[in-house]
Chains A and B, each alone.
Chain A
Amino acid sequence: MAELNTGDSGGKGKGGKVRSKKSGAKVDLTAMVDLAFLLITFFMLTTTLSKPQSMDLGLPDKSKDDTDSTKINVDQRRTVTIILGKDNKIKWFHGLLDSPEPNGAPQSSTYGKEGIRKELLKRVVSVPQVTGDKEKGLIVIIKPTKKATYRNLVDILDEMAICKVPTYAIVNDIPPAEQKLVDEMNK
């Protein structure tokens, strides 16, 4: 048994020798066990939590032969285009740039809960109702400009994951009409 040897009887001269021999055999292990468990906790947490997280990203195949023949025309009511600009700015529109859907005219927004996510969540629900087909959900086209940072890209991909957008794509070519928007944002 490990018990605390207080040595309160050590002051007596009679059995002093015998008592001190006995006390050497027992060590208080409480502090040692405390320390051991503290270290165990530390190592357990560091081994399991240190693994880096990652985000899966699948891009469309970039083979050169699909120029005109395989170009698919998508229903404009389903597409939301998000342009990522410098200084964490966002511009987005629903539908086509010149003839946007109701409430979908080009406008600025921000990342996160109060910004783009509200609009996306609304449209994730509304688009299948408009098209009348559950399979035809929202399509988000992400267009990062040259001034956008990597953090912006990850943030917007994260929004896609949070809002459970069924289809999204990163598109790099920006037509002249949209370029105007971009210049306005990045100036």
Chain B
Amino acid sequence: MAKVKMSKKSTSIDMTAMCDVAFLLLTFFILTATAKAPEPLPVDTPSSTVQTKLPDSDLAMIVVGKKEGKEKVFFGVKGREVRKAALEYMAQKYKMEFTDAELEQFSLIDEFGVPMEGLKQLIAMKNSDRNRAGVQPGVPCDSINNQLNDWILYSRKANIDVNQKELQFAIKGDAKEMYPEIKKIMDMLQDQKINNFNLVTGLRGKNY
């Protein structure tokens, strides 16, 4: 009989401590995980075997993609303070006025694709409405109205003001995008003497 009792004891373990630790870790990971906001311009990035990760800060992302049958360019900067400072510069340049509340709201937008004239309406919109079809036509970047160029220039200035560092640029292009569209963006960066930048890619299988 004694033998049977011994084996019965060993089958059950006290799980309270394990459960505590597990939930502590779970809470930690949930809180540190940043909720991925839906992208206003979803693109299918080409894949590569290079495994450099993008930096978390001092980064501006230029997204080139096709939505609703039109080529669009979206722009976004990492860091809320940098966004605010960049918008202030842009407001000066385009002779617009933004209230503090609008600046605050703008600093929460990851990426946007509207001309300066439509920015106020975009800021006033609800988060869920911004991604609706036809709301964001893309940042103008043709030779007549090159707002993207200004955004690049002023966000660089803003980043130096806020973080005392040169802003890095990443181009996130759709794989099916034709080369001239990407070249246009590269040329624009090169005109500002930015010769080093990142191309955002996905992961490719090992034995490619």
Contact = CB atoms under 8 A, between A and B. Distances in A.
Contacts of A130: none
A150 B170 contact: no
B14 interface: yes
Contact of A53 (B26, B52, B208): B52
B203 A53 contact: yes
A3 B29 contact: no
B19 A43 contact: no
A29 B19 CA distance: 7
A61 B48 CA distance: 25
Nearest to B175: A151
Given A36-B19, A54-B170, A55-B48, A150 B177 contact: yes
A112 B204 CA distance: 12
A187 to B, nearest CB: 17
Interface string B42-66: 0001111111111000000000100
Contacts of B191: 62
Interface stretch (A98-106, A121-129, A154-162): A154-162
Contacts of A43: 26, 29-30, 33
B198 A56 contact: yes
Nearest to A161: B50
Contact of B46 (A40, A112, A154): A154
A147 interface: yes
A149 B178 contact: yes
Q: Is the interface of B mostly helix, strand, loop or mixed?
A: mixed
Interface stretch (A7-15, A44-52, A176-184): A44-52
A151 B176 CA distance: 6
Contact of A55 (B13, B22, B50, B178): B50
Nearest to A84: B179
Interface string B171-199: 01111111111110011001101011111
Interface string A76-107: 00000000100000000000000000000000
B15 interface: yes
B176 to A, nearest CB: 6
Contacts of A72: none
Contacts of B47: 154
Interface string B1-34: 0000000000011111011001101100110111
Contacts of B207: 113
**Size bin of chain A's contact surface:** 35 or more
Contacts of B118: none
B36 A50 contact: yes
A18 interface: no
A174 interface: no
Nearest to B48: A158
A162 to B, nearest CB: 6
Contacts of B175: 149-151, 154
Residue in B18, B26, B186, B200 whose Cβ sees the most chain A Cβ within 10 Å: B26
B196 A33 contact: no
Interface of A: 1-4, 29-30, 32-33, 36-37, 39-40, 43-44, 46-47, 50-62, 84, 112-113, 144-155, 157-158, 161-162, 172
21 contacts: A2-B12, A32-B15, A32-B19, A33-B22, A36-B19, A44-B29, A52-B202, A53-B200, A53-B202, A54-B52, A55-B200, A57-B198, A84-B179, A113-B208, A146-B179, A150-B46, A150-B177, A150-B179, A153-B179, A158-B204, A161-B50
